[in-house]
Structure 1
């Protein structure tokens, strides 16, 4: 039997849902837990994001911003952020990932809707969020040397790693393509297809870590998905769909360094994810994430082939044994 968090029934009574049936849902990589509520012809989602590990106020703030901009975040029915409770609209069961697993022929329609939704978001005024700056990028990418390298049993040049990343990220943080809201985890498992069709409006979830940063970051998250294979040629086509839509809206991404910056963000995100997935396995007892590392490693290697990544590519050549690279990151102990 699933143990329900302390305070759940008190919160539901305050929210007017005391008689609802409670159905716990599978967890994710965080400390958050989700429950589906049903009763009297209505349904809702209940999120428990307990402090100090989580901050539900951030979710509420971003949801409010997205709603103000006409984007499709779940409506908030009731909240007690100090206790970690948020009662929100239930977007149903049609996650983009699950939909495409069952209907692979809908891939182009679903991804086109997702990149067009990003283009729309990037045309809005940025939210009142912290900047995705050099310190944030470096803090994230250090997860690779802090967690993956020890788990793989290798010693690496950490100072050289940071110096290489600082060099390649400088054009990103000074890019004219900064200044949009970045949801930071925009991929097929965090997009809900509303209305039961692949081209339906995109329901957004898991956006509580939003920052203001580069327009390429969420595209990388979507098109270089750690959890789902996306053909490289198809990803390039969707990138062009995004650029065409931005050009239609008055922003030209063709005669700039956007593609190199996109690759740099891809490498940064993928190196970070290798570190995060290793940490989830070693620290948090979630070994299932290790099976995804080879996919992420393949994406990382492809990004390192871009000229913009040359300093980081040289570091990998000098520090990561060829056998580990060829095996998709090797075995994590």
Structure 2
């Protein structure tokens, strides 16, 4: 984490009525965005810097407004200069779902139920003013596995067969995601803030929202890349969602499809973060994601993709992600 402040920060704060505020750099995420806690007397705010050309805060502002307008809890915007990548927003505090449930495991099921409740509220809404989660986008994401993970292990694989396997698996699901629900795409315990017993959960990192299948954010929450969710809790929360939302007979198969797609994508992204962006710490998360991918591949709906993995990725490079990385 760099303590060097970006150029233009003080000028933006001064123009927003926060001149002279103390600025505390915070740990970043897996993007080019940076975050700062801003203090001016008793006032607190968060500052996001999403610098162009790598980042554009406009989608964050647009999706956040839609969520707030529809009864969910995105941070309120205090000031912004989207062209320069600056957004000053409400400070949700420090109580993230991840750390809270790790510290208070007796509350884990109740906290997850509240997160499921927020999803059911979201999924009762009409689709948002967003693009559809298309076949081309699903496949583009899944290909991150063959584009980054496989070369990092020196694997020569059947790229065309991989694409065709995913198209076969996902084609059966696409009709069931129309007209679709708002999919936040990164709904997990590190992006959910606990604001207190009288407040809704605060949502973060939703700028890539699309309209898609309701199982996507559910699998994002219950097959978390960053914390262990027990099989018992995953099953209990899956059943709770199905009961609350009245999900149909194909929902479990679609959950497995999207779990496998998302986990394959994440493995690729974590390797890319190492190889391209110099962030090797994400490699330590890959074994958890692999284990989730393996479980998803056991569902009969994933048979073409499972067959591809069996033929192209040796067993010693699966699950535990062993073997030698190609630096």
Asked if TM exceeds 0.5, the reply is: yes
SS at match of 2:106: helix
Determine if contact 2:36/2:47 at 8 Å carries over to the other structure: yes
Partner of 2:81: 80
Within-5 A mapping of 1:1-333: 2-176=3-177, 179-195=180-196, 197=197, 201-247=200-246, 253-254=247-248, 256-325=249-318, 327-328=320-321, 330-333=323-326
Number of residue equivalences:
325
Aligned residues: CA RMSD: 1.3
SS at match of 1:184: coil
Determine if contact 2:287/2:320 at 8 Å carries over to the other structure: yes
Instruction: Give unpaired runs (5+ residues) of structure 1.
Output: 248-252
Per-residue deviation, 1:332: 2.8
Per-residue deviation, 1:327: 3.1
Instruction: Give unpaired runs (5+ residues) of structure 2.
Output: none
Determine if contact 2:112/2:237 at 8 Å carries over to the other structure: yes
Distance 1:48 1:303, change over 3 A: same
For residues 84 and 121 of structure 1, the distance between their equivalents in structure 2, rounded to whole angstroms, comes to 28
Partner of 1:250: none
Q: String of CA shifts for 1:236-279, please: whole Å, max 9, x gaps.
A: 110111111113xxxxx14x211100000000000000000000
Per-residue deviation, 1:293: 0.3
Per-residue deviation, 1:143: 0.3
Determine if contact 1:220/1:265 at 8 Å carries over to the other structure: yes
SS at match of 2:180: strand
SS at match of 2:73: coil
For residues 176 and 158 of structure 1, the distance between their equivalents in structure 2, rounded to whole angstroms, comes to 26
Determine if contact 1:177/1:215 at 8 Å carries over to the other structure: no
Determine if contact 1:180/1:214 at 8 Å carries over to the other structure: yes
